[in-house]
Structure 1
Amino acid sequence: MASVARRLGVAPSTLRTWDRRYGLGPSRHTDGRHRRYGSSDIDRLELMQRALLRGASTAEAARYALQQMPRTEIVPPADEPATPAHAAPADGEVPSRLARRLSTAALAMDVGAVQRMLAEALDELGVLAAWAGVVEPVLTALGARWRGVSAGAEVEYLLAECVYAALVRATPVLDVPRNLRPVLLACVPEERDTMPVYALAAALAGRRIGAQLFGVPLPAEVLAVAVRRSAPAAVVLWAHRRAVADPRLFARVSRGRQRSRLFACGPGWDVATLPDKVELLADLPAAAGRVEHVLVGAGR
């Protein structure tokens, strides 16, 4: 143990604490009562140290190291009861597990692990379930933490960039979409929370619904021109903040001979202030389902 402690630059007592609390101790048994650190044990501890240097807490760094390099027999942290290997995942367990792993990887500033976690969540759960059960909760939690003290803003920015890239990769290019005219997806001017429209575009593409996406918020006059030139079958305007959700925007984008179905999506809209012909969509699953139904009907 002393030689391992010197190699890592920590006290032997620290190694004993990590072994007792997090199950990051030696796994090789000798003929007597002693155990010895193997090369995989040391690699795991070095992975934990890199996570610590990048700002993760000790518990988060330990969990991250064990997730990246699982042991044959993992001793769970004292505050986390062991789960029987034969137990079936409970409802919500898979999203929660993926969210924990994604959060730990983001806190460790491990871009590769974040990308793998996002790809796994999107593949295993689908775009909308991964967004609601994994991505959005982690983004919200990390945003609250760095505004508190624990995690830095760089963690949230790193995760956001990876999420944008993952959602773009999850959006198939449609050779022959089911809708003849596209649905135009856009954020209202000055909206900062643009990621949900990427998730909606990916979900619609998965249903073979073609969309024209403007993820960067456009000025009102530019958005109106884009709608006029695209001649979409439907327009969905996303607003997260009430301060930027101006219902008068719908009158500007609906001018012209080509009429489109108009939808407001996001928590920023107030249904009481929306024009009569504008339909409020409660959330992303409701938006995907309703847009699909309006454009092509319920059948696949």
Structure 2
Amino acid sequence: MATPQRDELPVAGLTTGQLARLLGVSPTTLRSWDRRYGFGPASRADGRHRRWSPDDVAMAQEMCRLTATGTPPAEAARTARLHARGADGTGGPGEWSPVPSDGTDGTAARAGSGLPLGRVRSECRGLARAAVRLDAEEVRELLRRAVAHHGPAVAWEEVMSPALQAVGRKWQSSGEEGEQYVEVEHLLSWHISAALRHYYLDAARPRRAAAGLPVLLSCLPGEQHTLPLDVLTAVLGDEGLAVLMLGGSVPADALITAVRRVASLAVVLWAQTSDTADLALARRVAGARWGVRGARTQTPVLLCGPGWHPVTDDAEPSELTHVTSLHDAVRTLTGLGRERPAR
């Protein structure tokens, strides 16, 4: 988040409203910090109006940075004051906020983000706060740290997904106010996808088997939800598997052509809703063959996503494998990789 330097701030200081806009928080939040933690401006203009000096602004910026990383507000306020005085304190710049052994911060985390998060990791709270502020740089950095620290599977299940689900619940339950959270969901989804793709392309590169058959991932026609496949891509890369990602809403003929052209370990078809879960197309994909004449091979097909449940619950096609979780998909695909590791 770009902020002005000290010499760019008004000599008279900023009002609470001006500082709130600068930080991307509400004036109520600043007043709450002052009331609860004594975290307010040092002076008032004409004895009435609160004015935040450049030193006060720097302290408030540090407070926002710390709470965005998951530091509890009381601890963040104490550390920000120490930081402003030049004293040594915990939680300084660049430090990763510690995670309790049970994986949560011990509270029903809601304060600061306005989202119904429940008991979550401190990184998730920080991510939610940054997303609600639309602080893209902080969101990106928190996601990078989470994936590097926990790996893509844990980062998704315990940091990214709970934050996204909380935004979705807020959006659905808040009426007109919920419309304000659409941009939060879009920002968060885009950056999560970017973080996972970056991890697959760079961090997971040394662990991928160069000679192994790739897993072909695709959304069905009309299906635009690619984020779950981004998650699977990153986790498979961590397991040493290569991935060929076709993306969202792949036309049926293009999907069949890709299956016939590529010697793949398996094909994963994602359907978010029953409207896009096309069982007839899935059977066509399962029947497609690749390889030289006389030795053509069929590729295993995995049906992933909640959209397949009503389609496959009654009579699961024998030529298809229905997986119901990320762990189930990874276990199945890594098993296939051990059985058929090379081209």
Which residue number corresponds to residue 30 of structure 1? Answer: none
CA gap of 1:106–1:136, structure 2 versus 1, over 3 A, is: same
Partner Cα distance (2:131, 2:137) in 1: 10
Tell me which residue corresponds to 1:248.
280
Q: Aligned pair 1:161/2:200, yes or no?
A: no
What do residues 30-59 of structure 1 show as CA deviations (whole Å, max 9, x unaligned)? xxxxxxx885532243688xx9xxxxxxxx
Gaps in structure 2 of 5+ consecutive residues? 1-9, 19-26, 43-51, 82-90, 92-97, 106-119, 290-295
Aligned to 2:215: 183
**Shift in Å at residue 108 of structure 1?**
0.6
Match of 2:167 among 142, 160, 167: 142
Determine the C-alpha separation between the residues in 1 that align with 2:127 and 2:137: 11
Q: 1:166 to 1:232 in 2, by over 3 A?
A: same
- Aligned-partner residue type, residue 304 of structure 2: C
Determine if contact 1:164/1:198 at 8 Å carries over to the other structure: yes
Secondary structure in structure 1 of the residue aligned to 2:268? strand
Would the aligned equivalents of 1:188 and 1:238 in 2 still touch at CA under 8 Å? Answer: yes
2:327 to 262, 268, 285: 285
CA deviation string 1:104-157 (max 9, x = no partner): 101111111000110111111110111111111211211232342244311111
Aligned residue pairs: how many? 268
Alignment partner of 1:42 is 2:57:
yes
1:13-52 → structure 2 map (5 Å cutoff): 17-21=32-36, 24-25=39-40, 39-45=54-60
Give the equivalent residue in structure 2 for 1:91: 102
- Provide the alpha-carbon RMSD of the alignment: 3.8
Query: Could you tell me whether the CA contact under 8 Å between 1:186 and 1:238 is conserved in 2?
Result: yes
Shift of 1:241: 1.1
Alignment of 1:2-13 (within 5 A): 7-9=14-16
- Cα displacement string for residues 34-92 of structure 1 (whole angstroms, at most 9, x for unaligned residues): xxx885532243688xx9xxxxxxxxx994499599444579xxxxxxxxx9x971322
TM-score by length of structure 2 reads: 0.67
Q: Distance in 2 between matches of 1:153 and 1:259?
A: 42
CA–CA separation in structure 2 for the residues paired with 1:43 and 1:138: 28
Distance 1:73 1:180, change over 3 A: closer
Question: Residues 241-262 of structure 1, C-alpha deviation per residue, up to 9 Å, x if partnerless?
Answer: 1221121122221323321111
| 2:220 maps to 1:213 | no
1:296: Cα distance to partner?
A: 1.4
Asked whether the 8 Å contact 2:70–2:125 carries over to 1, the reply is: no
Quick one: distance in 1 between partners of 2:70 and 2:235?
33
Which 5+ residue runs of structure 1 have no aligned equivalent? Answer: 28-36, 52-60, 76-84
TM-score norm. by structure 1 comes to 0.75
Describe the superposition over 1:268-290 as per-residue Cα deviations: whole angstroms up to 9, x where unpaired.
11233431121111211221122
| Paired residue type of 1:260 | T
Q: Percent identity?
A: 32
In structure 1, the partner of 2:49 is: none
